[in-house]
Structure 1
Amino acid sequence: MMEAFILIIVKPGNEDLVYEKLKDVPQVKEIYKVYGEYDIIIRVEVNDIKELDKFHDEVLRKINEIEMTETLIASSYGS
């Protein structure tokens, strides 16, 4: 299992619409509205990098209200 945090910039005023489009997507485990440079942060769980690629291509890139994303792949400390 692989976990990633995706930082999302949304077209102004469309935060609720993007939330509605993401809230029932199985890979999306948490969604947060945040203040600052980004508008939304989501935590996703996927099996591997190919599934993460598919999530980007088939979910995020089809939401027109999203202007930009930055993906952070989570890693753990220690062994």
Structure 2
Amino acid sequence: MIEAFVLVVVRPGSEEKVYNALAKEGKIKEIYRVYGEYDIILRVEVENIHELDKFHDEVLRRVSNIEVTETLIASSFRG
């Protein structure tokens, strides 16, 4: 299982529209509107890297008004 955080920048004024479009997607486990450089942060869970690629291609790239995304793949610290 891969957990990733996707930072999203949207076209100004379209935050609610993008939020609502993304909130329907099952792979997104959490979604937050935030202040700062990014407008929305997603926590995504997928089975493997291929599924993450597919999520980017079939979900994020098809939502209008998304201008920029940055994906951070989570890693656990074990000491």
TM-score calculated relative to the size of structure 1: 0.97
Match of residue 34 from structure 2:
34
- The letter of the residue matching 1:8 is V
Match of residue 3 from structure 1:
3
User: Number of matched residues?
Assistant: 79
User: Share of identical aligned residues, percent?
Assistant: 63
- The letter of the residue matching 1:59 is V
> Runs of 5+ in structure 1 lacking a partner?
none
Taking only aligned residues, the RMSD between alpha carbons, in angstroms, comes to: 0.8
- The letter of the residue matching 1:38 is Y
> Runs of 5+ in structure 2 lacking a partner?
none
TM-score calculated relative to the size of structure 2: 0.97
- The letter of the residue matching 1:12 is P
